[in-house]
């Protein structure tokens, strides 16, 4: 295995995940605010599940996102 190539590939994947996830969260929150489903002072529970086929990895991260 080429460790450098593997490391760069993982970093590239995580960058795409981070950027697209942030964009989706921001869009969903703004839309919910516009529709009146959120007031803007909530704390939202968030969960991400990462799976990696071929090695049986399943990793969950849970946290909260505060709007105020």
pLDDT digits (tens, 9 = 90+) for 5-63: 999 999 999 999 999 999 999 999 999 999 999 999 999 999 999 999 999 999 999 99
Helices (H) and strands (E) in the chain, counts: 1, 2
Parent domain of 59: 3-66
Q: What pLDDT, on the 0 to 100 scale, is given for residue 5? A: 98
Tokens 């590939």, residue? 9
Q: How confident is the model at residue 1 (pLDDT cuts 50, 70, 90)?
A: very high
Q: What pLDDT, on the 0 to 100 scale, is given for residue 64? A: 98
Dist CA 9 CA 12 (whole Å): 5
Q: What pLDDT, on the 0 to 100 scale, is given for residue 2? A: 97
As for how many domains the chain has, the answer is 1
């Amino acid at each position: 295995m080429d460790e450098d190539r593997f490391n760069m590939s993982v970093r590239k994947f995580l960058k795409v995940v981070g950027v697209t996830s942030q964009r989706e969260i921001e869009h969903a929150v703004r839309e919910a605010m516009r529709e009146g489903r959120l007031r803007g002072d909530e704390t939202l529970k968030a969960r991400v599940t990462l799976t990696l086929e071929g090695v049986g990895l399943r990793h969950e991260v849970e946290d909260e996102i505060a709007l105020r």
